[in-house]
A and B are shown apart, each in its own frame.
Chain A
């Protein structure tokens, strides 16, 4: 009898856990369909903790899935490794960059808290991650039907760029709404935000280069991290050069 009770409680616990995760995913709908209300709630500090948690769970989940898709081109180990490293990339970049945005906003008259700033950046990351997930079936399709490593790499860079740009526009809109309470220095804060986006992109690309490989070169063994050397941009230019037939990456 007690076994049944324990089993029942356990199953209820598991069901409750999954129900909570599905509720966390529902934050995506609020962001995509009712974003103005979502940003107003962030401005007013309504349920900030729950929002941050839901966005963290959703973005980690989606980024892990997309990372696993990326790594599947190389090996199962690479898939698992990329599934862990891709969320790590976004969250580490968030941790590195959010204090800069917060303090510069405060400097130019913002009355937002750090949590509100983090919530706004997480909104951008969540939008990026859900868009990446929506691209995942397309990436799997190309994974199965093409064999060009450089093409696959550049395609993913393009997908990341598109999703990140949409995420940045969400961040800009959210920042506009959330910082509307403090009128003083609104223009300067807008400039600060766009400059911060550029810094964030540089930090993110360097972080990605540090945590590479995410896809895994086909002729190389699985590595958790590769030796430092070169940089993200020269590698991308080299890949474009190879795709266009100018030279071969050796």
Chain B
């Protein structure tokens, strides 16, 4: 056994001894805790007082061999470095005879050479390090929940946070401009328009377009805009460069007719333009579904623009 120990390097020995020391110290702590729990009230005071003065004091007994062995190893190294022929076990009696009141922070163990050794000198048999025992986790056997924490009135605080969020939601949804756009939606979109038929776009100019078959169709008047059932909320303001990606399609006009007149007029730039005949109507790409019936007086009140085609002559009154 001793030969086997000699084969081991000094580092291994130190590490083993350190492990021993740790496990022994844990044992000592558990024993001290058990003693303090089982002792009468007067004893409790004594234990706590002592613990305050010397919380990590090593005690005599088999469980404190490891710290002693550490000190012995240190003494061995000191003796080797100084070249003295001090016996290896000479530090042990000094350690075992330490006063109980010494604190852990006290550095090196003072050697009291005058006191006789209580234990026979010689190498302490090497003990295999004990396996590390982790504390039981939640739900495991022997686990104790931590003490209950006092209330900090979090329910009330959460209620206030919820009220604050509710107020924020209301505030960001209140319309703030003439178009009825709220704070939450006031920033123009920069990305992520889903391009589809019916998407309404507006560039830097006043023109508004509707996307149809990947083409931009200019909505020629507010009448047409309203006729299509659009509102300002449907209009997406985009960069002009974005509009240039699309081909230009036929403009979207509103065709107006009143009941007592056979003529059809196209509304363009807020002027009525007479369409001469059916052939022109169809050649312009118009469809009967686009014709809206309005009162004749409304048509008469609209300013008159050039006829379609422009050489068709003066337009008739509706």
Instruction: Report if B101 contacts A (CB, 8 A).
Output: no
Interface size classification for chain A: 35 or more
Instruction: Report if B151 contacts A (CB, 8 A).
Output: yes
Contact A33 B149 (CB under 8 A): yes
Contact A150 B159 (CB under 8 A): no
Contact A177 B139 (CB under 8 A): yes
A124 to chain B, nearest CB (A): 16
A143 CA to B189 CA in the complex, in Å? 12
Q: Name, among B155, B166, B192, the residue most crowded by chain A CB atoms within 10 Å (CB to CB).
A: B192
Mark interface residues in A23-52 (1 if CB within 8 Å of B CB, else 0): 111111100111011011000000000000
Mark interface residues in A58-100 (1 if CB within 8 Å of B CB, else 0): 1001100110110011111001000000000000000000000
A87 CA to B250 CA in the complex, in Å? 47
For chain B, the count of residues having a C-beta within 8 Å of the partner chain is 43
Measured between beta carbons, the chain A residues less than 8 angstroms from B196 are 219-220
Contact B190 A73 (CB under 8 A): no
Contact B145 A40 (CB under 8 A): yes
Given contacts A79-B173, A148-B190, contact A137 B165 (CB under 8 A): yes
Given contacts A34-B148, A249-B194, contact A219 B199 (CB under 8 A): yes
What are 27 residue pairs bridging A and B, where the CB atoms are less than 8 Å apart in the complex?
A: A22-B155, A29-B151, A29-B152, A29-B155, A34-B149, A65-B166, A65-B169, A66-B165, A69-B165, A73-B184, A74-B185, A75-B233, A76-B182, A79-B169, A133-B161, A133-B165, A137-B165, A144-B187, A147-B190, A148-B191, A150-B191, A150-B192, A177-B138, A177-B139, A218-B236, A220-B196, A242-B192
* Residues of B participating in the A interface, judged by any CB pair closer than 8 Å: 137-140, 145-146, 148-149, 151-156, 158-159, 161-162, 164-166, 168-169, 172-173, 182-185, 187-196, 199, 233-234, 236
* Residues of A participating in the B interface, judged by any CB pair closer than 8 Å: 21-29, 32-34, 36-37, 39-40, 58, 61-62, 65-66, 68-69, 72-76, 79, 130, 133-134, 136-137, 140, 143-150, 173, 176-180, 217-221, 242, 248-250
